[in-house]
Amino acid sequence: MRREIGDFVILDSVSASIAHGERVGLVGANGAGKTTLLRIVSGRDEPDAGRVRVAKGIRVGMLAQESNLDPRVAGARDVHHLVRSGAQEVEELEATLAHLESAGAAA
């Protein structure tokens, strides 16, 4: 895969394969093309040459760099804590729903 902006080549001869169930993080210097690569793989942008194939049922996600996020997100120490805080909210909603469903079944 290849991606250029004007005369500047950002990605050249990029090739990768990720197995089902694997998770990938990209680390590199500013301007190395990490965001460009993720935008292309996630379908938010197109390569200038080559193609991206994502198997059926696979989801590609990307946490944006911009800080225009919910204050809870912006204040999170790291992604793990952010995900756990969201999971806690989901668990609380599931418990409330289960309680309401059992109360409705008893009525």
17-62 per-position pLDDT tens digit: 888 888 888 888 888 899 899 899 988 999 999 999 988 888 887 7
> Is it the case that residue 69 has pLDDT exceeding 60?
no
Mean pLDDT for the chain overall: 83
User: 23, 29 in Cβ contact below 8 A?
Assistant: no
Look at residue 81 and tell me whether its pLDDT is greater than 80: no
| Mode of pairing for the β-strands spanning 8-11 and 3-5 | antiparallel
Side-chain-facing half-sphere of 19: CA atoms under 13 Å: 1
Give SS3 for 9.
strand
pTM of the model: 0.56
Quote the percentage of the chain above a pLDDT of 70. Answer: 81
